[in-house]
Amino acid sequence: MSESEMNTLTIADAVKLLKIYGCDTENQDNSPTAIKQLRKALLMVAQESEWENLGICADNLVQGLEALQSYLEALGYSYDFSQKDRKPENLEESVYIKFNTRKMNYYADTYTGNSRGVLVAMQGDDEAIIGTYGHFPLNLFNETSD
């Protein structure tokens, strides 16, 4: 998608792009241009949702919380992670973190699956956008914009 096409991205185009990303990460385009396009589409659709649930599958708790924090900041949320007391016993094990932006709360638990990435479930009444999208790269919002 060219720069001018990215500037005229519609909600329908954004949803279509988000639906490309799934558990099959081998066929995803992770070029700088595609990542920039993905960021824009995700933020556009999230802006139209009422709230989001984020699901993070990561190698460990630190990696998962870093990804969660970067997504929350990109989506316009602020959360103090230092106050959270329920964490998995072993910080080095693979982890699943679920965050609800309506309740502004999360839980984390050990995870035995092989998937890594972020799922974003758009919530609300607009059937054109509601749904679960991803797995998106853990570092989607950590990379610098072009």
- How far is residue 139 CA from its own chain's centroid? 9
Domain count, the chain: 1
Structure tokens at 113: 């699956």
What's the rounded Cα separation, in Å, for the pair 65 and 48? 25
Q: Which of 2-11, 25-34, 42-51, 53-62 has the lowest mean pLDDT?
A: 2-11
Asked whether residue 142 is domain-assigned, the answer is no
Asked whether residue 28 is domain-assigned, the answer is yes
Cβ neighbours for 71, distance < 8 A, ≥ 6 positions apart: 54, 56, 118, 120, 140, 141
> Each residue of 33-42: pLDDT tens digit?
999 999 999 9
**Structural domain boundaries enclosing 89:** 3-136
Asked whether residue 62 is domain-assigned, the answer is yes
Asked whether residue 144 is domain-assigned, the answer is no
Q: What is the CATH number of the domain that holds 23?
A: 3.30.360.10
